[in-house]
Amino acid sequence: MERQAGAPAIELKDIDKRFGAVRANRDISLSIARGTIHGIVGENGAGKSTLMSILYGFYRADSGEIRINGKAVEIASSDDAIAHGIGMVHQHFMLVDPFTVLENVVLGAEGGLTLAAGLEKARAALTALERDYGLEVPLDAPVETLTVGQQQRVEILKALFRGADILILDEPTGVLTPAEADHLFRILRQLKDQGKTIILITHKLREILAVTDNVSVMRRGEMVGTLLTADATAEKLAELMVGRRVLLRITKADATPARTVLDVKNLSIVDASGVVRVDDASFTVRAGEIVGIAGVAGNGQSELLEALAGMRPFSGGTVSINGTALDPGAPDAAALREAGMAHVPEDRQRIGLVTPFDACENTLLGHQSDPEYHRGLLLDHGAILSRTRDNMTGFDVRPCDPKLTASLFSGGNQQKLVLAREIERDPDLLIVGQPTRGVDIGAIEFIHKRLVDLRDAGKAILMVSVELDEIRALSDRILVMFAGRIVGERDSSADEGELGLLMAGVTDTEAA
Amino acid sequence: MSARAGTLTHWAITLLVPVFNLVAALVVSGLVVLVIGENPLEVVQLLVWGAFGYGEGVGYTLFYTTNFIFSGLAFAVAYHAGLFNIGAEGQAYLGGLGVALACLYLDFLPLPLLIPAAIAASALFGAAWAFVPGWLQAHRGSHIVITTIMFNFIAASVMVYLLVNVMAPPGSMQPESATFAETARMPFIHEMLGGLGIELSRSPLNMSFLWALACCVLVWLLIWHTPLGYALRTVGTSPQAAVYAGMSPKRLTVIAMLISGALAGGMALNEIMGSQHRLILEFTSGYGFVGIAVALMGRSHPVGICLAALLFGALYQGGAELAFEKPKITRDMVIVIQGLIIFFAGAMEHLFRPQLEALLTRKAASPVTVEEGQPSG
């Protein structure tokens, strides 16, 4: 590829993109120097993904210019992007699980009539790439047998194999343990040292500060600033993202735990395919405390939450909420709600909300049998409406329109709808999964505060989150789950490294 | 802000999409008519006149409409619960057995008591026939489309057996039951109104039509104003959210199929008790399948279903008239036109939707851009 000396690797000029009435990108100009790691931060819906999709050829900009290495280019498809040396590592991996690493990398770039010749050529090239960048993945292992961190490296390998000079990574650390994330950052630095240009999209400010050279902040479709990472602080970036000052860490008094509300003894969960998801877990949650469960996604936390919330049967052990024992074989969320349980599920889009329903109808979800909402045999739509309006005002849901379809609210407002519904029914126990996943910084602050308020009101809260910062900020006690087991308990002062080790399965006894 | 505009847009789309689909179907039908050498405008004129131009025609149109309301509602209720019940045909067929049994063996009852009994029998038999596929779907995961189709075949065979071997009166060579007593028939509308001094042309339109309209109201109440309807819609939209809310998808699947089958049974009321006055072979003649198109076109809402049922009723009646008047346009041609409407309303439902949505949302939302700066987090 011809290059103009000194020209930036990527230059965007006045990029504009509309979706219907929404202007997802407005007049975006950005210049990314070759051989640097450039971070792009912004809240959900700020337009980061749209911008990267334009760069990678998924969308075409309505107007504006893209220059790569100083040359104006048209990127109409991802093939064009690859031809211009742009590679992308998606948040959700695009891998064929039963195929080997080698087969996955070659997929779509087989070359030649027979597979064998292409594979052997690729093997040689990949071995060289692995050596150069310290990528370390077994080429002949099926992808499904690899760890998430390794799978991500396969994605990077794929991009490099196709000759990527510029690498875009979209929220790459969401699924990684802290140690895996560190490994990724080492690889990124190595890539940079070899002259590659890297664009890192994330909402984790700490990572931006740790690994990037420059950082650009987007807000509501606009580029609000680009600064040297050396000059940036988390507070400054957060302020740019939200447009006002935000409290990154909530202040809370010490917990005063009272009686036991949730009592879990030797709980085991085996899923439909016979895999043990939760193995002999025992713990309690008392009134007036927040217990956080830390762990990398997929280590049994989701199954644990679902069982406790009456959505999934369990195979062994006992669980009682407010003294009411759960029936292991016949999960019944309705009965648990009666007993004082409330549940904010991990996946609000599929489970916590029925997104094609309006806000009112979503207020009814889980409380459809509640006499408050009935008038004779029929539903009392007036009562539902006024409750919804109260919830929306109380939780500052915008727009405050009870008749608006749930899917049209932003992630943060959807989460507030779910939280309001669950909290406002005055539960004794709140089970909450990923309280702020996909939620804007401004809303995170609000949600955290409401959770602490609820605790201070003497309620028991069990929280699962893959965000270690969130766990540490909110929890009074921290349980760490690994491979279905609770491998340790720490208090809120536990340091990150220690928790990270536990999350990676290095247990107390091994560490000692 | 855009919320009000949003609902407005929603309504516009709800109304406009079926209209566009209908127009598209008529345009293509017009081309077909042109090809066989007839004047499309004349054909449309004949069709409309046949359906609405004179008293008897209107009566027949509404008689067919009654069938389509029942089959449309039957499909819609299951559809709200996420089930594709294409077994209305078989459920109505069995419903006919229930109606015939009531009319033959309970004919000692006075009519005001017999009618509710016949309605109950039609619903009960239809529901029973829908129960098995519903239960299999809920508890064994057998796909409802496959099982209901199979149950249509089974129903057909069972009815042939019953009509030939069991229900045919001794000595009769016809595969049909005995004719119901005069006192065991659903009153015709022209008779009822005639009693009140209002003269109408004779037609098979009977009181089942009123029950069909009542069912529309009941379904509307059920789906949007009862906790059960809410649960059915939740299961149909997001089964996991239903489990989260403490609902039982299995139970609701069975309930939805029972209600759906009961509604399908209404068709038998109209055809058997209202018009044929005896149980005959294949009286359902495809009305159950057309109900799918009716429900899809009517967006599974009783008001929409009534309008779509009226359209199909008019097509049936106007089409028969057309085939009579224009020898070149045979009965099969009319079925082609119906097929095109079903094709555009059902299979091609999304043909115009994206363009319409894009057009309307842009229009509706353009004044909002000023407010975009409003915080939304």
Interface predicted TM-score of the whole assembly (ipTM), two decimals: 0.82
Give the C-alpha separation, A35 to A390, whole Å. Answer: 53
Residue B375 lies in a domain: no
Residue B376 lies in a domain: no
**Residues B98, B8 share a domain:** no
Residue A443 in contact with partner chain B when CB distance is under 8 A:
yes
**Residues B145, B18 share a domain:** no
Average pLDDT over residues A497-505: 84
What residues contact A315, with CB distance under 8 A and at least 6 apart? A268, A269, A270, A328
Question: What pLDDT, on the 0 to 100 scale, is given for residue B8?
Answer: 64
Burial readout B219-235 (b: 16 or more C-beta within 10 A, e: otherwise): bbebbbbbbbbbbbbbb
Q: Which residues pair with A68 in a beta bridge?
A: A10, A71
Of A43, A336, A365, the CB nearest to B377: A43
Residue B174 lies in a domain: yes
Span A123-159, pLDDT tens digits:
888 888 888 887 888 889 998 888 888 898 999 999 9
For residue A313 the two structure tokens come to 């049967």
Angstrom CA distances, A505 to A150, A167, B13, stand at 17, 31, 54
Subunit contact A443:B1, Cβ cutoff 8 A: no
Span A61-90, pLDDT tens digits:
889 999 999 899 999 888 899 999 999 998
- Sign of the dihedral through C-alpha A359, A361, A365, A370: positive
**Residues B365, B320 share a domain:** no
Question: What pLDDT, on the 0 to 100 scale, is given for residue B25?
Answer: 87
User: Residue A260: what are its φ and ψ, rounded to 5°?
Assistant: -75, 130
Of B70, B42, B32, B48, nearest in space to B317 by CA: B48
Average pLDDT over residues B184-196: 92
**Residues B107, B12 share a domain:** no
Residue B377 lies in a domain: no
Pair B43, B322: CB distance under 8 Å: yes
Range of B303's domain?
A: 57-325
Residue B268 lies in a domain: yes
**Percentage, residues of chain A above pLDDT 70:** 96
Question: What pLDDT, on the 0 to 100 scale, is given for residue A5?
Answer: 56
Pair A264, A317: CB distance under 8 Å: yes
> How many CB contacts within 8 angstroms connect chain A with chain B?
115
Span B280-330, pLDDT tens digits:
999 998 899 999 989 988 889 999 999 999 999 999 999 888 888 888 888
Q: Show residues of chain A in contact with B364, CB under 8 Å.
A: 21
Question: Which residue in B has a C-alpha nearest to residue A413's C-alpha?
Answer: B377
Subunit contact A366:B245, Cβ cutoff 8 A: yes
**Residues B290, B208 share a domain:** yes
Q: What does the mean pLDDT of chain A come to?
A: 88
Of A345, A366, A408, the CB nearest to B246: A366
For residue A18 the two structure tokens come to 């509309």
Asked whether the predicted pLDDT for residue B374 surpasses 70, the reply is no
Average pLDDT over residues B65-94: 97
**Residues B152, B134 share a domain:** yes
Asked whether the predicted pLDDT for residue A251 surpasses 90, the reply is no
Angstrom CA distances, B134 to A242, A301, A385, B151, stand at 51, 34, 34, 11
Give the C-alpha separation, A404 to A169, whole Å. Answer: 34
Of B191, B97, B244, nearest in space to A337 by CA: B244
Average pLDDT over residues A15-38: 87
Number of domain units in chain B: 2
Q: DSSP readout, A375-395?
A: ETTEE-HHHHHHHHHHHHHHT
The one-letter amino acid at A43 = E
**Residues B124, B23 share a domain:** no
Question: Which residue in B has a C-alpha nearest to residue A20's C-alpha?
Answer: B362
Give the C-alpha separation, A464 to A485, whole Å. Answer: 14
**Residues B182, B117 share a domain:** yes
Question: What pLDDT, on the 0 to 100 scale, is given for residue A508?
Answer: 57
Q: Show residues of chain B in contact with A329, CB under 8 Å.
A: none
Residue B52 lies in a domain: no
Question: Which residue in A has a C-alpha nearest to residue B363's C-alpha?
Answer: A21
Residue B112 lies in a domain: yes
The enclosing domain of B235 has a CATH number of 1.10.3470
Lowest mean pLDDT among A54-58, B8-12, B229-233, B313-317: B8-12
Pair A391, A397: CB distance under 8 Å: yes
Question: What pLDDT, on the 0 to 100 scale, is given for residue A511?
Answer: 44
Q: Which residue has the higher pLDDT, B374 or A403?
A: A403
> What is the nearest CA distance from A487 to chain B, expressed in angstroms?
28
**Residues B337, B262 share a domain:** no
* Domains with residue ranges and CATH for chain A: 10-242 (3.40.50.300), 260-352+428-511 (3.40.50.300)
Pair B80, B228: CB distance under 8 Å: no
**Residues B23, B102 share a domain:** no
Q: Show residues of chain A in contact with B361, CB under 8 Å.
A: 20-21
Asked whether the predicted pLDDT for residue B113 surpasses 90, the reply is yes
Give the C-alpha separation, A136 to A154, whole Å. Answer: 9
For residue B320 the two structure tokens come to 């028969």
Subunit contact B6:A43, Cβ cutoff 8 A: no
**Residues B114, B179 share a domain:** yes
Q: Which residue has the higher pLDDT, B194 or B367?
A: B194
**Percentage, residues of chain B above pLDDT 90:** 65
Subunit contact A333:B2, Cβ cutoff 8 A: no
**Percentage, residues of chain A above pLDDT 90:** 47
Chain A interface, mutation test: which of B230, B359, B362, B363, most A Cβ atoms within 10 Å? B230
Compute the C-alpha angle B104/B108/B109, nearest 5°: 105
Span A387-440, pLDDT tens digits:
999 999 999 888 889 999 998 887 888 999 999 999 998 899 999 999 988 787
**Residues B109, B13 share a domain:** no
Average pLDDT over residues A20-37: 87
Chain A interface, mutation test: which of B243, B250, B366, most A Cβ atoms within 10 Å? B243
For strands A222-228 and A276-286, give the pairing: unpaired
Residue B298 lies in a domain: yes
Question: What pLDDT, on the 0 to 100 scale, is given for residue A146?
Answer: 86
Question: What pLDDT, on the 0 to 100 scale, is given for residue A248?
Answer: 66
**pLDDT band at residue B6 under the 50/70/90 scheme:** low
For residue A452 the two structure tokens come to 């602490």
Chain B interface, mutation test: which of A365, A373, A444, most B Cβ atoms within 10 Å? A365
**pLDDT band at residue A495 under the 50/70/90 scheme:** confident
Chain B interface, mutation test: which of A302, A350, A351, most B Cβ atoms within 10 Å? A351
